[in-house]
Structure 1
């Protein structure tokens, strides 16, 4: 084989290797974007799919804007936080969530055992803020109805268990099943003693609807871009994709020493 032919074949191989490396890099970037997009339910999707869907997300109960009734035991500015855990815990985790958001479900599923362990041992206190992001993005009222229902469960002293039940039974993001109060009350049957006349009335009357709307406004004015937003000691830790339940546990336990 002539030197020229060998050089030609080598050059072709090198070109092929470069192209393959470019393709691998593109695939890696694409995977990162997909993972990044699935980490949070993003604020502002309505701008992409149209203002009509955002307007469709405005509920009748939101339109009539009743009095702001905070659930029992709510704390913080404007009583917008539902606390879980002891007041004296060394660490506080602030979580902004939408009951209809699949990324919130993914967070809850992955972190729930660790969060329960840290709360039950007195090391961590969680402050939950409920928002209605998906209603605005995709239309419907499931975020609002679900948030009102868990606030009603807080009145009954069963927030944590019912909150976990709703995430375990969360429908697909595009399925607005949580807009049905009957469905929410049916799922409440999974929490012993929760379904009482008072709970039914609270869910059906939308007792805490205006409180949820106020929480949504606080979320938007806080400059947060998506749910879940998870803050430990005020620092957003969930946007760091290397965060794991084990790392969170380590951080909380370190703060206790």
Structure 2
């Protein structure tokens, strides 16, 4: 391997580590705010009981009530995994991701070509699982809106291409641009055959919002600490400092030969 390639992979790993650390700090700040607000809330509880009663049932911007509609072809427990690749592949990669997450984009930039190569060759199956932690950390709804749109793309048979476009066009972490359904529909124009009336309705209606919420709940209760969480045969490779795209390919090739 050339020195240039080694340096590029090292840089990608370092960038990923920096983004994960930023995400952890944001989560710590969010928890601190929650504690402070809780104390204030207890002191003022008597004064706000009437307000709570008056606003009962209103949408607070959190999880969306309604039936859980899984996208076409979703698999696993509660149909929360979107599969890419051949079912008979001997290796499985599970990717927990958030479309607003900069560290997820860094992972994509480093590993995407290898993942595509291995799935196209029938040697690797990827299970994409969607989370919305940046919405919780930074505010907004872009994580959920983008995840719903990706599920709508899965219905149309264009998940992988649209998934890649969302990361290629990812806004800054503090910019909730993906909360705009018009922007998500505009990006669908970059995927041939995706921008249809059915896709537009799915995005605008939030058809899979409750499914996205359920997926995020599974992430929260799964004991994971951040996105991306990437499991190869159950082992978290993001935490493996020695992991590179070349090493992942080697592991998959070995499994395919056994």
Task: Please report the TM-score for the alignment, with normalisation by the length of structure 2.
Answer: 0.81
Alignment deviations for residues 20-45 of structure 1 (CA, whole Å, 9 cap, x no partner): xxxxxxxxxxxx99873424643834
Shift of 1:197: 0.6
Matches within 5 A, 1:42-61: 42=24, 44-47=27-30, 50-51=33-34
Number of equivalences: 221
Alignment deviations for residues 45-96 of structure 1 (CA, whole Å, 9 cap, x no partner): 45356239x9xxxx85644411100000000000000000000001000000
Q: Is the 8 A contact 1:46 1:138 kept in 2?
A: no
Kindly indicate whether residue 138 of structure 2 is the aligned counterpart of residue 138 of structure 1: yes
User: What is the aligned-residue RMSD (CA, Å)?
Assistant: 2.2
Alignment deviations for residues 141-188 of structure 1 (CA, whole Å, 9 cap, x no partner): 000000000000000000000000000000000001000000000000
- 1:244 aligned partner: 244
Distance verdict in 2 for CA 1:46–1:199, change over 3 Å: farther
* Separation (CA, whole Å) in 2 of partners of 1:204 and 1:51: 31
Moved more, 124-133 or 35-44: 35-44
1:125 counterpart SS class: strand
Shift of 1:135: 0.2
Shift of 1:235: 0.9
Shift of 1:240: 1.2
Distance verdict in 2 for CA 1:191–1:34, change over 3 Å: closer
- Unaligned residue ranges in structure 1 (runs of 5+): 1-31
Task: Please report the TM-score for the alignment, with normalisation by the length of structure 1.
Answer: 0.81
* Separation (CA, whole Å) in 2 of partners of 1:49 and 1:149: 32
- Unaligned residue ranges in structure 2 (runs of 5+): 1-12, 38-58
Give every structure 1 segment of 4 or more consecutive aligned residues whose post-TM-superposition deviation is greater than 6 Å.
32-35
Matches within 5 A, 1:14-163: 36-39=17-20, 41-42=23-24, 44-47=27-30, 50-51=33-34, 62-163=62-163
Matches within 5 A, 1:168-207: 168-207=168-207
